[in-house]
């Protein structure tokens, strides 16, 4: 069965081009030129991945991303003509997994889509016989189990995206050790870390938000300024 990709962009040429390249790779593409039609489809269909333009004529891509994250955890890639870090952080903070600036090479977009889908399958559909299966950590009321891909805080389940789960799991595995941002990024995202990369910071911020953590005095994920992050023993 073909994986279902949602593509939303009001620039018809871009949406049509992405559709063509994705269909050539065997994906089922659901294409929309506005947010309202896309929103209806989001509520009716569970996609495998979404590509959302931020600047739409009605409902912007960030609002669509928020709506997706209310019920679904599949990867979301944001498209935008903007290049400001603030826009990128906003997208990552509300649950986007990747961010591509226009103009772009459609082959690069397809490659990034494939990467996100591989990660999603890897982190969201773990086999029982996989390494570390059945392993869990219980840290002062924070319970995380890799086999079932579940996380609970004081008995209440946290709804984490696959990337958020992987970030938290990596830190729990290394409890008591300060993990540099570079190491965390390269371990979870599987890509080379570059300076001024705010991806880790944005995901840590979203994790703290879901855990109702005070960023200035967090109980679990501590910031070691200039170094990285740690969960203390």
Query: Per-residue pLDDT tens for 190-210?
Result: 888 876 678 899 999 999 999
Q: Are 109 and 78 in contact (CB under 8 A)?
A: no
Better pLDDT: 4 or 137: 4
Token code pair at residue 51: 């590509």
pTM of the model: 0.61
* pLDDT tens sequence across 68-124: 988 888 899 999 876 555 666 666 667 788 888 888 889 889 988 988 888 777 655
Exposed, middle or buried, 107 (CB in 10 Å: 0-12/13-18/19+)? exposed
| pLDDT reported for residue 131 | 46
HSE-CB at 153 with a 13 A cutoff on CA atoms is 13
| pLDDT reported for residue 129 | 38
């Amino acid at each position: 069965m073909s994986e279902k990709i949602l593509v939303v962009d009001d620039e018809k040429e871009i949406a049509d081009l992405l559709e063509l390249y994705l269909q050539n790779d065997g994906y089922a593409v659901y294409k929309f030129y506005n947010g309202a039609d896309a929103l209806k489809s989001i509520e009716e269909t569970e996609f495998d991945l979404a590509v959302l333009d931020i600047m739409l004529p009605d409902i912007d891509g960030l609002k669509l991303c928020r709506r997706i994250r209310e019920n679904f955890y599949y990867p979301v890639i944001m498209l935008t003509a903007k290049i400001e870090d603030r826009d990128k952080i906003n997208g990552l903070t509300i649950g986007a997994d990747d961010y591509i600036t226009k103009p772009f090479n459609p082959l690069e977009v397809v490659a990034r889509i494939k990467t996100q889908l591989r990660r999603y399958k890897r982190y969201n559909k773990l086999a029982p016989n996989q390494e570390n299966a059945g392993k869990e950590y219980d840290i002062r009321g924070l319970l995380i189990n890799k086999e079932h891909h579940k996380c609970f805080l004081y008995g209440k389940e946290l709804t984490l995206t696959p990337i958020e789960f992987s970030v938290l799991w990596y830190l729990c595995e290394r409890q008591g050790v300060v993990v540099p941002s570079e190491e965390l990024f390269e371990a979870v995202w599987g890509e080379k870390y570059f300076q001024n990369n705010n991806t880790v910071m944005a995901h840590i911020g979203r994790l703290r938000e879901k855990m109702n953590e005070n960023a200035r005095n967090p109980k679990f994920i501590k910031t070691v300024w200039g170094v990285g992050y740690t969960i203390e023993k």
